[in-house]
Structure 1
Amino acid sequence: MGGHAVQKILDAILADELDAIESLPVPTTYRGITVHEDETGMFEGLATKDKDPRKSLHLDEVPTPELGPGEALVAVMASAINYNTVWTSIFEPMSTFGFLKRYGKSSPLALKHDLPYHVVGSDLAGVVLRTGPGVNAWKPGDRVVAHCLDVQLEHADGHNDTMLDPEQRIWGFETNFGGLAELALVKSNQLMPMPDHLTWEEAASPGLVNSTAYRQLVSTNGAAMKQGDTVLIWGASGGLGSYATQFALNGGATPICVVSSPEKAELVRSMGAELIIDRSAEGYRFWKDENEQDPKEWKRFGARIRELTGGDDPDIVFEHPGRETFGASVFVAKRGGTIVTCASTSGFMHQYDNRYLWMNLKRIIGSHFANYREAWEANRLVAKGKIHPTVSKVYSLADTGQAAHDVHRNAHQGKVGVLCLAPSEGLGVRDHALRAAHLSGINRFRGV
């Protein structure tokens, strides 16, 4: 009982008859995007850029997992592609099956995650089907989005900041049963209300990157951005950067948006940013070769920033490219400034001149995803129309491999959405008045 039961659920959602969800049977199987453990060596010997997610990501019919205490089963209408799905698909920097094995050993409840296939995906928008014992805040029929922090909170370390819990994991990356599927299994404390003015694919897209950017830039656990700050944002038109740019503009800061083409420059300009550096047009080359950086390029970059700002250095550098840019980031941050990093998409082994850090009292802060409160606040800003989704293109579930391939090649802007159960784009909107007031912002990245 897979496809027929799934169709019954979809019919109820499309008819907005959500009260009927609880009475419908839970499918015994569902379709999900997977990687296979017996294929983890398929790309050995290839350069990273030559590893093709279209070969490793499969659309499989898989058994529905057993629902445990504190968990919820969600019918997924739409999801989105993140870099962690790309990493999973090319088995870099390691296979995710090691994560699943370690998680499976952590408790009897987690054992079900240790499988020879991994259902991936760390975003979703959909409808709650069932909740497990101990779940009181959510019920079948609730329209939800999910953030991707999976945590039990059984350790004291996590109770001041959930991200410090030693058993925190990223759902759909370090756990199984992710969101690129018709159904998904989540902890109930991953759920948040779906913004009523958005479509399913729009609502699914902010989760991971919006929450990550919020903690990294706005939260006191990150850079604690304040009004008047100057914020250098790498990749300002991309998945993370497009939200960082919005947070800076929304919070009274001045973003300096680094992009790599005139089209991307125009995109961030349309968001309200005025200070823009097209690094390709201006020819910055921070590395002389594979082993040596070029401090003269750091200085040229810093001079360009001061030219744009009228003499100010960045109070905050919003870092995520990693190896390629990190030396420049440390150099250009102001005296006493902050470099906050959440990723290393160009390489994990960073090099920088420590003299510019210690002698100028700068700080490097590591930031990883977000806790529930930070994710909730970030989602609340979306729901109020203060921050907008950045969907540029939407794929079918069957075309997820192509979607991941495009993100791997950086042939995208903003976020790439994936329709799971939703039969077409544009469905799910309830608050049409709020949507009409923000339609240009919601659609800004479309077709870019």
Structure 2
Amino acid sequence: MPDMSEAVIAEAGAADLESLPVPEYFPAATVRAEDVDTFRSVEDKDVRKSLAVTQVPMPELAPDEALIAVMASSVNYNTVWTAMFEPVPTFQFLKQMGKAGGWEARHDLPYHIVGSDAAGVIVRTGSSVRRWNVGDHVVISPAYVDEQDPDTHRDGMLGEGQKAWGFETNFGGLAHYAIVRASQLMPKPAALSWEEAAVNPLCASTAYRMLVSERGARMKQGDVVLVWGATGGLGAYAVQLVLNGGGIPVGVVNSAEKAELLRSLGCEAVINRSDIEEGDPTLLQQPEGWKRMGRAIRDVVGEDPHIVFEHVGKKTFAASVFLARRGGTVITCGSSTGYEHLYDNRYLWMRLKKIIGSHGANLHEQWEVNRLIALGHLVPALSRTYTLDEVGAAVRSVQTNEHIGKVGVLCLAPRPGMGVTDPEARSRIGEERLHAFRR
């Protein structure tokens, strides 16, 4: 008799999966509480030194949860933060969860299983799970919400108990198995392979909420949208959403290769920030750099941005506030270069601009994005795929900004390309589009 992992890989049916015991231990990418001081006073906080694939015990399943056999996952910047133990060690989040007691106590462990994206197969469901069954192919929303918080029912991201799964919770997606709440489950797009499906949930939904949702910038047709890091994990989806919505994306990149990729996606207005900086990486933090960027934007589209899609943080935020047009919007979801921002407030108040904070996406927004992906209106930003044993190198590539788009990680899937269950839909989308970011 095969074990559970072998059965999942062999595409066994629900009855077979239900008849097999779940493993007592499984491989997972982890950081350890004993290592939180590893990078104290170290300039290069190389995540390959803190991340390790180890055997961990299988946690018990709560009534509202599902156990997922993870076929593939991906790397987000929050995993970089976790592995650097910055801005705070994530064990503080796990300890806080543990204080709540009950099922939350399981999360307070001396190791943290990381990863906020996943695609896989349900192999067990808790007693209160109604809409999902063993054998279902799913992708995972990273929004872990408290369904008993009244604010959650206004917007899942407003509930005080809302957390980023795999970052502020344990049992994340960079592993052979993951624990998720039923409210995180979505159907896997049938045209995509496991790794193509795994790279989308966090970044695509975050970009959707920022640009399209009524809770974000409310982009409309004809809006000029400045997208920093336009070929990165977030920017790659932002550019596609702007184009789909009739907007005009202005993509900022740092190389000719990335500029060419943007143009192949249909983004005609591209700015290479290296041309602006001319060897001075701090120039965009200075008024002269803001003005140069403003002139470059007007050169390519003839006007200032209605919306600035901001996630870089310290190195670009002052420029973003300056560059948005009078009455324009800066929409921000993160700060990968530092979260303490300095900007000239005169350009905000005297020109009636807005700064909107955005975080993740609620389940409805996640489903809307997943539908767009299933229809082929958004394509995966997958550029390269690693194995779970190579997770340190995968996360390091994101840490050092060597990557384009999203970096995928094969977990249980033994090779790329598995998991496509609707080849006709895949043919309609087209291999060339699906491979747009491959490098």
TM-score range normalised by the length of the shorter chain? over 0.9
Determine the structure 2 residue equivalent to 1:299: 291
Q: How much has 1:294 moved relative to structure 2?
A: 2.1
Indicate the larger mover: 389-398 or 295-304: 295-304
Determine the structure 2 residue equivalent to 1:444: 436
Q: How much has 1:153 moved relative to structure 2?
A: 1.7
CA-to-partner distance for each residue in 1:241-273, whole Å, 9 max, x for gaps?
Answer: 000000001111000000000000000100000
Q: Is the 8 A contact 1:286 1:298 kept in 2?
A: no
Q: How much has 1:440 moved relative to structure 2?
A: 1.1
| Pick aligned residue for 2:275 from 281, 291, 296 | 281
| Pick aligned residue for 1:419 from 365, 386, 410 | 410
The answer to whether 1:229 aligns with 2:223 is yes
Matched ranges for 1:308-319 at <5 A: 308-310=300-302, 312-319=303-310
The answer to whether 1:201 aligns with 2:195 is yes
Secondary structure class of the residue paired with 2:39: coil
Determine the structure 2 residue equivalent to 1:17: 13
CA-to-partner distance for each residue in 1:12-38, whole Å, 9 max, x for gaps?
Answer: 443353442222211111111110000
| Pick aligned residue for 1:75 from 66, 69, 76 | 69
Secondary structure class of the residue paired with 1:351: coil
Distance in structure 2 (CA, Å) of the matches to 1:400 and 1:174: 19
Amino acid at match of 2:255: S
Q: Is the 8 A contact 2:94 2:169 kept in 1?
A: yes
Change over 3 Å in CA distance of 1:296–1:385 after alignment to 2: same
| Pick aligned residue for 1:39 from 11, 35, 39 | 35
Determine the structure 1 residue equivalent to 2:374: 383
Q: How much has 1:130 moved relative to structure 2?
A: 0.8
Amino acid at match of 1:152: D
Determine the structure 2 residue equivalent to 1:117: 111
Q: Is the 8 A contact 2:285 2:315 kept in 1?
A: no
Determine the structure 2 residue equivalent to 1:28: 24
Distance in structure 2 (CA, Å) of the matches to 1:99 and 1:129: 28
Distance in structure 2 (CA, Å) of the matches to 1:84 and 1:300: 31
Structure 2, unmatched stretches of 5+, are none
Distance in structure 1 (CA, Å) of the matches to 2:219 and 2:28: 39
Indicate the larger mover: 298-307 or 239-248: 298-307
Amino acid at match of 1:95: P
Matched ranges for 1:120-139 at <5 A: 120-139=114-133
The answer to whether 1:322 aligns with 2:275 is no
Secondary structure class of the residue paired with 1:280: helix
Q: How much has 1:282 moved relative to structure 2?
A: 3.2
Q: Is the 8 A contact 1:286 1:294 kept in 2?
A: no
Determine the structure 1 residue equivalent to 2:59: 65
Q: Is the 8 A contact 2:28 2:176 kept in 1?
A: yes
CA-to-partner distance for each residue in 1:118-137, whole Å, 9 max, x for gaps?
Answer: 11100100000111121101
Secondary structure class of the residue paired with 1:26: coil
Determine the structure 2 residue equivalent to 1:103: 97
| Pick aligned residue for 1:245 from 234, 239, 244 | 239
The answer to whether 1:94 aligns with 2:85 is no
Distance in structure 2 (CA, Å) of the matches to 1:415 and 1:18: 31
Determine the structure 2 residue equivalent to 1:334: 325
The answer to whether 1:266 aligns with 2:257 is no
Amino acid at match of 1:367: S
Distance in structure 1 (CA, Å) of the matches to 2:405 and 2:215: 24
What count of residue pairs does the alignment treat as equivalent? Answer: 437
CA-to-partner distance for each residue in 1:118-173, whole Å, 9 max, x for gaps?
Answer: 11100100000111121101111100000101112211122111101000001100
Q: Is the 8 A contact 2:8 2:121 kept in 1?
A: no
Determine the structure 1 residue equivalent to 2:340: 349
Q: Is the 8 A contact 2:277 2:289 kept in 1?
A: no
Amino acid at match of 1:124: A
Q: Is the 8 A contact 2:61 2:67 kept in 1?
A: yes
Q: Is the 8 A contact 1:319 1:343 kept in 2?
A: yes
Q: Is the 8 A contact 1:320 1:343 kept in 2?
A: yes
Distance in structure 1 (CA, Å) of the matches to 2:6 and 2:347: 57
Distance in structure 2 (CA, Å) of the matches to 1:314 and 1:107: 48
Q: How much has 1:287 moved relative to structure 2?
A: 3.6
| Pick aligned residue for 2:420 from 381, 404, 429 | 429
Amino acid at match of 1:394: T
Distance in structure 2 (CA, Å) of the matches to 1:181 and 1:297: 43
Distance in structure 1 (CA, Å) of the matches to 2:45 and 2:92: 20
Amino acid at match of 1:43: F
Identity fraction in percent = 53
Q: Is the 8 A contact 1:135 1:188 kept in 2?
A: yes
Matched ranges for 1:386-405 at <5 A: 386-405=377-396
Q: How much has 1:224 moved relative to structure 2?
A: 1.1
Distance in structure 2 (CA, Å) of the matches to 1:359 and 1:10: 63
Indicate the larger mover: 360-369 or 294-303: 294-303
- Deviation >3 Å, runs of 4+: 7-10, 284-288
Distance in structure 2 (CA, Å) of the matches to 1:333 and 1:20: 57
| Pick aligned residue for 1:52 from 46, 52, 56 | 46
Change over 3 Å in CA distance of 1:10–1:203 after alignment to 2: farther
CA-to-partner distance for each residue in 1:37-76, whole Å, 9 max, x for gaps?
Answer: 00111111112xx111111111111111100121111000
Amino acid at match of 1:151: V
Structure 1, unmatched stretches of 5+, are none
What is the Cα-based RMSD across aligned positions, in Å? 1.4
Q: How much has 1:308 moved relative to structure 2?
A: 1.1
